[in-house]
Amino acid sequence: MALAENGKLANKIKTLQTIQSEVESSNRIALSVDCVIFGFDENKLKVLLIRSDLKKYQGRYSLLGDLVYPNEDLSAAAYRILKQRTGLNDLYLEQVETFGSVGRHPAGRVVTVAYCSLVNVQHHKLRILENDLHWHDVKSTTELAFDHQDIFDACYNRLQKRIQKHPLGFNLLPKKFSLRELQNLYEAILDIKLDRRNFRKKFFSMDFLIDTGEMEQDVPHRPGKLYKFNYEKYEKKKKKWFGIDF
Amino acid sequence: MALAENGKLANKIKTLQTIQSEVESSNRIALSVDCVIFGFDENKLKVLLIRSDLKKYQGRYSLLGDLVYPNEDLSAAAYRILKQRTGLNDLYLEQVETFGSVGRHPAGRVVTVAYCSLVNVQHHKLRILENDLHWHDVKSTTELAFDHQDIFDACYNRLQKRIQKHPLGFNLLPKKFSLRELQNLYEAILDIKLDRRNFRKKFFSMDFLIDTGEMEQDVPHRPGKLYKFNYEKYEKKKKKWFGIDF
DNA sequence: TTTATTTGTGTATATTTTACACATTACGAT
DNA sequence: ATCGTAATGTGTAAAATATACACAAATAAA
């Protein structure tokens, strides 16, 4: 980043001191992260929301976020929020987009970096006592506080695109899952119906699933086989070229 | 963004004033944008670089960037830089990623939002007098200042992925172009060779090219037809489903 | 034992991708 | 004008992939 070119087309060499003063003086902005935390439960895609505690947005829900600390990396701030809200470390986390419209926050200029995270809803206990923190059905739209609807849309769109070409979805499932669960997940995220036989054929032909030898338990019908995803094999054999196609 | 949850799991409603003071008090950070500006010239992919005027990085090149003004949207800051350096408005611009490691800038905490831009090198006059602003060949690696190599890599990777599924490339070409120019562009960006007949077949079958009826001029061989890209038709008929494939 | 439900499987067809060669056109040199 | 050079423009056969589609087997519940 070329702070030194600040405004005018400067040609001289600047010292670190000059730039430090530029950085420290005027142009400082509050920075936050907001997390779109997806879960998958009862064959529905969910997002973790909390009641906005800002008077202006009373009654509306908002994403989970916080200001970034002065000595904190952006992703560290996102992981801090995830840990705080879900109790989990090591979640899938991907930066999606930064939102910085001048008027986006009523308290002044706050630029926010949006992250998308995927969690297995089995693996955690929410502290749902506070401010109505809850898993919200993605298909039942609520008007979110701030520009959080835009942020959510950006993250959901990204998820829909990305899940088609990358093995993200498994983060939303138990380690061992049936093909039906996997297909339900894809259908929920993409909001489409898929042909069951072709779906199976596709995943088997990609050859990244490991048959665990175990079967589903406690299902009220013929139980299916349980699989794990083979991340090592994926890393070795993943496609590099998907072809030109608009 | 849920500033109100700052730190503790607050449960009470906060007033705007409370939050304003949080925003204004401590956690402010300098914010910049950096632009990875791509061009295409003599069948090579280029990036616009400038000599770093920071003593610490003397001799190295850096991307074009600047601090974001307090009342300026992020994309507005990026467009400002583009206008300043290329003289052009209305360039292709896409936000790519935000870089905010605590130690990334020697002058203190500076978080930067990276943008990728595509320009037709015919259409502008660079003000190349200043600080050795120049089109740098993407394949001849220079060690860039700051974390600009990471930023560049992120933008280049994004471009390589995106050009395969979206009609971006045309921003790097004249409005009217031959299929050979288009193929050269794809080969340069993706750094691969493509079969000429299949490349043509692919683009013709997508059916987004308009035959202008004109031919190349001043080529030392049989001239090719010139085409335009049909953005309207693309918007109507673009693919929504590319299939599950890793 | 019967019923309801879901798993697991294969094939035929259509579509897409890939590999590959030769005649045509224009320019430039002689 | 002729010839050499270099790139354009075009089609087909084979392989790979995607799609549509139906029935027997396994289990739980009644």
Report pLDDT digits (tens) over A68-78.
999 999 999 99
Rama region for B87: left / alpha / beta (φ>0; ψ in -120 to 50; rest): left
Q: What's the pLDDT at B4?
A: 42
Mean pLDDT of B174-184: 97
Protein footprint of strand C, defined by Cβ closer than 7 Å to any strand atom: A 178-180, 196-198, 200-201, 220-225, 243, 245; B 195-198, 201-202, 205, 219-223
The residue assigned the tokens 């990471």 is B150
**What are residue B108's phi and psi, to 5 degrees?**
130, -165
Please report, rounded to whole angstroms, the spatial distance between the CA atom of protein residue A121 and the C1' atom of nucleotide D27. 28
**Residue percentage of chain A with pLDDT more than 90:** 80
Per DSSP, A57 falls in state G
Question: Within the 29-48 window of chain A, which residues sit less than 8 Å (CB to CB) from chain B?
Answer: 29-34
Q: What's the pLDDT at B209?
A: 98
pLDDT in tens, A109-129: 999 999 999 999 987 777 666
Q: What's the pLDDT at B124?
A: 72
Whether A214 CB is under 7 Å from strand D:
no
Whether A123 CB is under 7 Å from strand D:
no
Q: Which nucleotide is nearest to B244 (CA to C1')?
A: D18
Confidence of residue A103 (pLDDT cuts 50, 70, 90): very high
**Residue percentage of chain A with pLDDT more than 70:** 89
Whether residue A70 and residue B208 make contact (CB cut-off 8 A), yes or no, is no
> Residue type at A235?
E
> Residue type at B207?
D
Q: A86-100, B16-30, B87-101: lowest mean pLDDT where?
A: B16-30
Whether residue A55 and residue B29 make contact (CB cut-off 8 A), yes or no, is no
Mean pLDDT of B10-19: 61
Q: What's the pLDDT at A28?
A: 85
CA B10 to chain A, closest CA, distance in angstroms equals 8
Confidence of residue B12 (pLDDT cuts 50, 70, 90): low
Closest to A228 in 3D by CA, of A163, A179, A184, A190: A179
- For residue A118 the two structure tokens come to 């995927």
Q: Decide if pLDDT at B1 tops 60.
A: no
pLDDT in tens, A167-179: 999 999 999 999 9
Q: What's the pLDDT at B53?
A: 82
CA A179/CA B216 separation, integer angstroms: 54
Determine if the pTM surpasses 0.85: yes
CA A17/CA A36 separation, integer angstroms: 39
CA A239/CA A221 separation, integer angstroms: 36
Size of interface A-B (CB pairs under 8 A): 280
pLDDT in tens, A6-43: 444 444 566 777 766 666 666 689 999 999 999 999 99
Q: Decide if pLDDT at B79 tops 60.
A: yes
More confident residue, B10 or A163: A163
CB A50 within 8 A of CB A133: yes
Confidence of residue B26 (pLDDT cuts 50, 70, 90): low
Q: What's the pLDDT at A7?
A: 40
Residue A184 contacts B, CB cutoff 8 Å: no
> Residue type at B102?
V
Report which secondary-structure segment, H or E, holds B214. strand B209-215
Residues of A whose CB is below 8 A from B166: 246
- How high is the mean pLDDT of chain B? 91
Confidence of residue B20 (pLDDT cuts 50, 70, 90): low
Closest to A94 in 3D by CA, of A13, A159, A179: A159
Mean pLDDT of A183-203: 98
**Residue percentage of chain B with pLDDT more than 70:** 89
Residues facing residue A29 across a β-bridge:
B29
Please report, rounded to whole angstroms, the spatial distance between the CA atom of protein residue A220 and the C1' atom of nucleotide C6. 9
Which residues, including other chains, have CB under 8 Å from residue B135's CB and lie 6 or more apart?
A: B39, B41, B46, B47, B48, B121, B126
Q: Which nucleotides on strand C sit less than 7 A from a protein beta carbon?
A: 4-11, 17-21, 24-28
User: B82-95: buried (b, 16+ CB within 10 Å) or exposed (e) per residue?
Assistant: beebbebeebbbbb
